[in-house]
């Protein structure tokens, strides 16, 4: 089994792939930059206990992290738990992408992983929208990573409104009871929700239009990330939601970078 861990700014996602390459479970933990190696190992052990998985059956691991203080800590925690030092997505790892960037190391490891998955699962050109603390949009044409757009995320925008405007309250994006969201709010809370949800949807729609106009053809649009479902239904474009895009990309990267080792171990080249 292969362990995949994605450390994001807000959440850390843990996934375990079985011998057939299927996700056995997917878990989300809060990201805490102050966690020690032992605390991270205990968190991972708790996840395995929760999903009744045996950490001793793990044959390899891969880590993506956009939180530098936690990269080494989580690497050590995974090694402690599994006895396997994880591959870390970054310089030196084979991706199969031709990245058009002046400084390749500036491209987030989560964006690399989801781009690798996107080109294996969807028609080109594909535009990948990642909705987390920030909302990123990556364009991939064939095997070429053309570039990225980074914008404030929906939740971050809502928090900024509440923090910087003294009379605006701290609220949740979702309407209580699941009631429909009105475009024109009759209360301050509803007006804020409308601005964040419909405003973010309009921003995403507008950027998609600009991307398609620049390349002169329509794109396949794929969204992932924890905040995508908050506003995707309000977008005008057809957008596919793929919850496991980053995890699938990490699994593909692991397979790509351990193929020779697996071949020498079993003499056949087939995944073990």
Q: Is the pLDDT of residue 89 over 50?
A: yes
Residues 235, 128 share a domain: yes
Q: Does 130 lie in the same domain as 216?
A: yes
Better-scored residue on pLDDT, 161 or 146: 146
Domain assignment present for residue 107? The answer is no
Domain that holds residue 175: 122-241
In degrees to the nearest 10, what's the CA dihedral of 26, 29, 31, 37? Answer: -90
Q: Which of 110, 242, 244, 248 is catalytic?
A: 110
Any domain includes 17: yes
Tokens of 127: 């535009």
Q: CA 39, CA 78: separation in Å to the nearest integer?
A: 11
Q: Is the four-CA dihedral 38, 42, 48, 52 of positive or negative sign?
A: positive
Whether residue 136 is found in the same domain as residue 211: yes
Per the structure, the count of domains in the chain is 2
Same domain, 80 and 136: no
Give dist(CA 163, CA 149) in Å, integer: 25
- Can you give the CATH number for the domain in which 254 is found? 3.30.420.40
Tell me if residue 110 is catalytic. Answer: yes
Confidence (pLDDT) at 92: 83
Higher pLDDT, 68 or 261: 68
Weakest mean pLDDT among 34-43, 91-100, 176-185, 203-212: 176-185
106 is a domain residue: no
Is residue 109 domain-resident?
A: no
For residues 130 and 235, state if they share a domain: yes
Mean pLDDT throughout 201-223?
A: 95
Hey, what are 52's tokens?
């009744």
Whether residue 211 sits in one domain with residue 182: yes
**Domain identity same for 61 and 126:** no
Model confidence at 125: pLDDT above 80? yes
Does 49 map to a domain?
Answer: yes
Residue 216 lies in a domain: yes
CA–CA distance from 163 to each of 67, 89, 150, 157 (Å)? 24, 35, 22, 10
User: How confident is residue 185, by pLDDT bands cut at 50, 70 and 90?
Assistant: confident
Tell whether 134 and 227 lie within a shared domain: yes
> pTM value?
0.84
């Amino acid at each position: 089994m292969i362990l995949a861990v994605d450390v994001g700014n807000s959440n850390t996602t843990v996934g375990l792939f079985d011998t057939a390459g299927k996700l056995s479970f997917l878990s989300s933990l809060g990201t805490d930059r102050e966690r020690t190696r032992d605390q991270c190992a205990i968190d991972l052990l708790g996840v395995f206990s929760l999903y009744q998985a045996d950490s001793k059956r793990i044959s390899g691991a891969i880590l993506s992290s956009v939180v530098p203080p936690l990269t080494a800590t989580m690497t050590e925690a995974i090694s402690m738990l599994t006895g396997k030092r994880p591959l870390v997505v970054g310089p030196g790892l084979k991706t199969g992408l031709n990245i058009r960037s002046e400084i390749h190391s500036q491209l987030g490891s989560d964006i690399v992983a989801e781009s690798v998955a996107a080109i294996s699962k969807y028609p080109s050109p594909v535009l990948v929208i990642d909705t987390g603390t920030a909302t990123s949009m990556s364009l991939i044409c064939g095997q070429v990573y053309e570039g990225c757009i980074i914008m404030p995320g929906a939740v971050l925008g809502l928090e900024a409104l509440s923090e910087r405007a003294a009379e605006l309250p701290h609220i949740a994006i979702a309407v209580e009871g699941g009631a429909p969201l009105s475009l024109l709010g009759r209360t301050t809370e509803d007006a804020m929700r409308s601005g964040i949800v419909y405003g973010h949807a309009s921003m995403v729609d507008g950027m998609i239009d600009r991307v398609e106009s620049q390349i002169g053809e329509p794109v396949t649009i794929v969204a992932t990330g924890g905040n995508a479902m908050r506003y995707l239904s309000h977008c005008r474009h057809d957008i596919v939601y793929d919850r496991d895009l980053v995890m699938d990309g990490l699994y593909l990267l692991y397979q790509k970078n351990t193929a020779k080792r697996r071949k020498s171990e079993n003499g056949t080249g087939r995944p073990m």
